[in-house]
Structure 1
Amino acid sequence: MRFHPRLLDTLPGYNRTQFAHDAGAGITVGVLALPLAMAFAIASGMSPTAGIWTAIVAGFLISLLGGSRVQIGGPTGAFIPIIYAIVIDYGVANLLIASMLAGMILIAMGAFRLGGMIRFIPISVVIGFTNGIAVVIFLSQIKDFLGLQIDQLPGEFFSKVSTLAGALGTTHLPTVALATASLALLIGWNRLAQHIRWMRRLPGPLGVLVVGTAATALFNLPVDTIGSRFGGIPQAVPALAFPELDLSNLGKLIAPALTIAMLGAIESLLSARVADGQIDDRHDPNQELLAQGAANLIAPLFGGFAATGAIARTATNVRSGGRTPVAGIIHSVVLLAVVLALAPLAHHIPLATLSAIVVMVSVHMGEWHAFKTLGRFSAAYRTVLLSTFFITVVFDLTLAVELGLVMASLFFIHRVSDLTRIEPVPQDNAGIDPRIQVFRLFGSLFFGAANKLESLLVAADTRPAVIVLSLDKVINIDTTGLEILQNLHRTLAKQGASLVLCGLNAQPASLIARSGFATQLGEANIVGSLEAALARASACAAKAGELSPSPLGGASPVP
């Protein structure tokens, strides 16, 4: 494919006015991204430093190389359960390797132009695993929200719930009070901002982070902070280093890497498509996948981890006036400047406040209204959505998506099979030979509807001399459907009868010609209209008694 970042399209004619809009948007999004990057990293079992450098490096590359004008990249809440599980099972070094493998997969998907394929994932699967991820994220925050004394929270659902329940007796009241106050302030931030001018200048998450940090430092609150748990944030650019590779674990990381790649592709392209509607533009999905791949390949070299397009930050960028990738680049520069200038202040950031921010994200990311409207949709839709949701929460996101796609495919096959039918066409014309049977097929003649045509192979009370199949209502035939037609032709030939096809649409006609079946059947037995088919059938029926014996023991149809 052609490598062409959208940044190149926006540079011609770029002016100071547009730069001013992009700079304002970039600063706003950069300020918003700071608390989110730290919160998502901590919830994923990583250090806040890893989250910040993921946002800096991945955000820069996604804007520089991406296929969207306004996409903002970085760590997102959707990755939390995946990253946490990999860290628990394989360690941080192997997480970085898995992220790099995911980057290679995304680059390959973009190079082979698979960006459009992501749109084929059913909405029921997307909503099911999105809501499931939201629940998993919420559960992961109970420990820090309540200040529970747990060394390491298990990744498996039942063990996690059991551990949380067993540790409820260690609930730390000052932590609960700070987390609850932070969550309440976050919920009411926009309402308060209508009456307090300075609050309008800060995004809610950053404002709550500032207030929570100030309260912790001024009153010396006895709560866990970034300083007490992680030792603070280094005020320097991390050394470029390749993560240690353990070849014995490489095979085990393929499945997690595929999960990271698929979720990253889905979320980034969904974010880009939402942004398109806001700015009246159209992104390049394959170029976007290339950028996402490069971001996930390079960010781990700086200690970062999996990244993708962030819907909330992208929407904030658009609302703030960003219209070119320059805004996303500035967002990364702002984060870099904050780290280099203000890193020591992060020592007092309370984990309870960061936990409240992630809880708010989990509540907002779920499409909870979908549960209320389930009754309006089919049983297949409800089954796929609820199954995907349940498996995501209780077992594993990868398994949930796989089973969701399989179930959705099976329901689709069943539905299309129901729509495929074959009906006899009555012939009122007295001149038509009664030994001619005419049938019209509707829908798609594929492997899921094979039984519909096989009924014609069952011997009837009076064997027909000719069967006419009108296929003008058939939109598609696959190789299984073609084989059924061939079997019908061979069975009729053994009986000294003929098969006539008429009204073939483009795809069925092409397959029948390419497979050689048109030659086997005889070009004269493939006609355009039902009238022509009846005429041909009448000729075949009239000569049925003159047929020569066939090599199979029956008779051969009239050529």
Structure 2
Amino acid sequence: MLIPKSITCIKSYTKEQFIKDFISGIIVAIIALPLSIALAIASGVSPEKGLYTAIIGGFIVSLLGGSKVQIGGPTAAFVVIVYGIIEKFGIEGLFIATIMAGIFLIIMGLLKFGSLIKYIPSSITTGFTNGIAVVLLSTEIKDFFGLHMKNVPSHFIEKLMAYFNNFHTINLQSLLISLLTIAIIILWPKLNKRIPGAFIAIITVTLVAAFFKLNVTTIGSQFGNLSSSLPRPNFPNINFAMINELMLPALTIAILGSVESLLSAVVSDRIISGNHRSNMELIAQGFANVFSAVFGGIPVTGAIARTAANIKNGGRTPVAGIVHAITLLIIMLLFIPYVKLIPMASLAAVLVVIAYNMGDWKAFKLVFKSPKSDFLLFIVTFLLTVFLDLVVAIGIGVVLSSFLFMRKMGELTEIKYLLDDDKNKDVSEFIENVKLSDHISIYEISGAFFFGAANKFITVIREMGIPPKVLIIKMSKVPFMDSTAYHSFEMLNDICKRHNTKLIILKIQIQPFAMLKKYGFVDMIGEKNFCSSVDEAIEISNNVLNNQDYNINNIQIYNNTAAES
């Protein structure tokens, strides 16, 4: 259903719920303020661009989204890829990639891809989430310790080497601010759980730094004056060469954004016993990313932590998210001059806490107890995210998981000779009711019959040698077959024709039958040879064996001649 939840919720909206949504929206805005600024800086853009993202993106996600409680904005998951795009293509390239990602998300929603996201294995999502957490931690070392470095390399190993070479430039006052920030974030919830600790921490350390005139880098000293107004719409200069280069990064933003936003929606549904509309959520995320980029923002997605805070504080409709966006706009218009006083070390400390909380560190312990395929997916995705690139990590992770899945499905598909199975009811009926049953073979295919299992079927055909007078293929346990499997059937039919063997297909299901009919195989062997019951197959087998001269000695001679040749 492509109807925003804001339209659905407004029908039964009450004054009491508005008060809850209003309070929750303000609290979430206070949480989002330092996070939006810190994530923008970590991504390599100026602080106000994080606010643009939270205001514009957050407003559109709540207005058009398919979740009642989703809060949209910049998230830590995008830091790595945004930083990489800016480093290679500049800020203009980021805006183009974000618009392209938005268009991809809209198309994904219209094509109803929302439900397909659940098929990405958790080992991949956990792997790249932990990888992002490690990379995010590494990006904040410079500001956390106040190191005097002009440029920080983007690659993980080079970055660590640069920190090691410059660690003698540590600023103890910046380190003090960082540690004080973390201590307040950890301890504050014991005093008050409604007002976010990160907000209190940043206000406190900013006052401490200003009062004691500490020698620390601030937002103002690094970025200069910040704009206190929303920018005018600006459409980047798009050319086909850049579109081609940005296709993969844009697709990665779209996939990452869809996964994170839908995971957030699923988590929130469990808490409030709700039911989000995944395809409408993707469309909303798409429009949010397009408009965020047009107004100078960075990629947008559903923020799990802010969504959970919204639920915790009573938000139950999209009004809370809209209030959150409007509150951030008011704060930006009135208080942006004071933002430049915030020490960079305090923002780095906030991001260190975020990175620690977003990582599923228990996964490293549990992964050794997982199946080998899950272990491989987790490790490969994690290492590629950290040491190479998030785009490469997701791409290789998905491809690898597909191959592993196909291999597993191929292994589960069985082709077996049934006449050795005395316990099989169908086999017992044949033995009791068919004359010359020695000259009948019954094979059963079990499981999905696709290209991953077709080679197994071909091997059985070849090992069969000269086929008997009647060959029965039982397919009651085959829910699906593909074109590769069909070609193996063609090969079998050619062998049966050469040796005057009657081919019977027993108890075939709907999809395989429809496919064989489409390819003309049903007409090729005759629809009467597709039997829905054992009785039909017995009748055809008896007719074949009774009405045709079947010289066992001649067949034996033929076999010997074939073997000698």
Work out the CA distance in 2 between the residues paired with 1:519 and 1:297: 53
Aligned position for 1:448: 452
Aligned position for 1:527: 531
Aligned position for 2:62: 63
Gaps of 5+ in 2: 420-426, 552-565
Work out the CA distance in 2 between the residues paired with 1:214 and 1:105: 44
Aligned position for 2:79: 80
* Paired residue type of 1:219: F
Aligned position for 1:266: 259
Work out the CA distance in 2 between the residues paired with 1:524 and 1:200: 74
Aligned position for 1:344: 337
Would you say the 8 A contact 1:106–1:292 is kept in 2?
A: yes
Q: How much does 1:115 deviate?
A: 1.3
* Paired residue type of 1:444: A
Aligned position for 1:510: 514
Work out the CA distance in 2 between the residues paired with 1:53 and 1:544: 84
Would you say the 8 A contact 2:2–2:279 is kept in 1?
A: no
Q: Deviations over 1:227-247 (max 9, x none)?
A: 111114322232332234455
Q: How much does 1:524 deviate?
A: 1.6
Aligned position for 1:557: none
Work out the CA distance in 2 between the residues paired with 1:232 and 1:332: 23
* Corresponding position: 1:377 with 2:370: yes
Gaps of 5+ in 1: 194-198, 548-559
* Paired residue type of 1:326: V
Q: How much does 1:256 deviate?
A: 1.2
Work out the CA distance in 2 between the residues paired with 1:425 and 1:236: 77
Work out the CA distance in 2 between the residues paired with 1:78 and 1:388: 14
After superposition, the CA RMSD in angstroms is: 1.7
Answer with 384-393 or 102-111: which moved more.
102-111
* Paired residue type of 2:257: G
Q: How much does 1:461 deviate?
A: 6.2
**Aligned pairs, how many?**
540
Aligned position for 2:100: 101
Q: How much does 1:202 deviate?
A: 1.7
* Corresponding position: 1:492 with 2:496: yes
* Paired residue type of 1:414: R
Would you say the 8 A contact 2:70–2:318 is kept in 1?
A: yes
Q: How much does 1:116 deviate?
A: 1.4
* Paired residue type of 1:268: S
Would you say the 8 A contact 2:415–2:460 is kept in 1?
A: no
Aligned position for 2:424: none
Aligned position for 2:418: 425
* Paired residue type of 1:242: F
Aligned position for 2:197: 204
Distance 1:459 1:498, change over 3 A: farther
Work out the CA distance in 2 between the residues paired with 1:519 and 1:246: 53
Work out the CA distance in 2 between the residues paired with 1:248 and 1:411: 35
* Paired residue type of 1:212: V
Would you say the 8 A contact 1:88–1:154 is kept in 2?
A: no
Q: How much does 1:158 deviate?
A: 2.6
Aligned position for 2:50: 51
Distance 1:517 1:93, change over 3 A: same
Work out the CA distance in 2 between the residues paired with 1:527 and 1:245: 61
Mapping for residues 129-140 of structure 1, pairs under 5 Å: 129-140=128-139
Q: Deviations over 1:421-469 (max 9, x none)?
A: 1121225636442111111111111100112211343264664111111
Work out the CA distance in 1 between the residues paired with 2:491 and 2:241: 51
* Corresponding position: 1:283 with 2:276: yes
Work out the CA distance in 2 between the residues paired with 1:368 and 1:152: 30
Mapping for residues 349-360 of structure 1, pairs under 5 Å: 349-360=342-353
Report sequence identity in percent: 38
Distance 1:529 1:355, change over 3 A: same
Work out the CA distance in 2 between the residues paired with 1:461 and 1:505: 28
Distance 1:519 1:63, change over 3 A: same
Distance 1:8 1:381, change over 3 A: same
Q: How much does 1:301 deviate?
A: 2.2
Instruction: Report the secondary structure of 2:68's partner residue.
Output: coil
* Paired residue type of 1:34: L
Mapping for residues 24-39 of structure 1, pairs under 5 Å: 24-39=23-38
Work out the CA distance in 1 between the residues paired with 2:220 and 2:8: 44
Would you say the 8 A contact 1:30–1:331 is kept in 2?
A: yes
Aligned position for 1:116: 115
Q: Deviations over 1:383-414 (max 9, x none)?
A: 01111111011001111111111111111111
* Paired residue type of 2:528: A
Work out the CA distance in 2 between the residues paired with 1:34 and 1:516: 64
Give the TM-score taking structure 1 as reference length: 0.93
Instruction: Report the secondary structure of 1:139's partner residue.
Output: helix
Q: How much does 1:96 deviate?
A: 1.1
Work out the CA distance in 2 between the residues paired with 1:363 and 1:396: 20
Work out the CA distance in 2 between the residues paired with 1:543 and 1:456: 29
Would you say the 8 A contact 1:232–1:346 is kept in 2?
A: no
Would you say the 8 A contact 1:40–1:75 is kept in 2?
A: yes
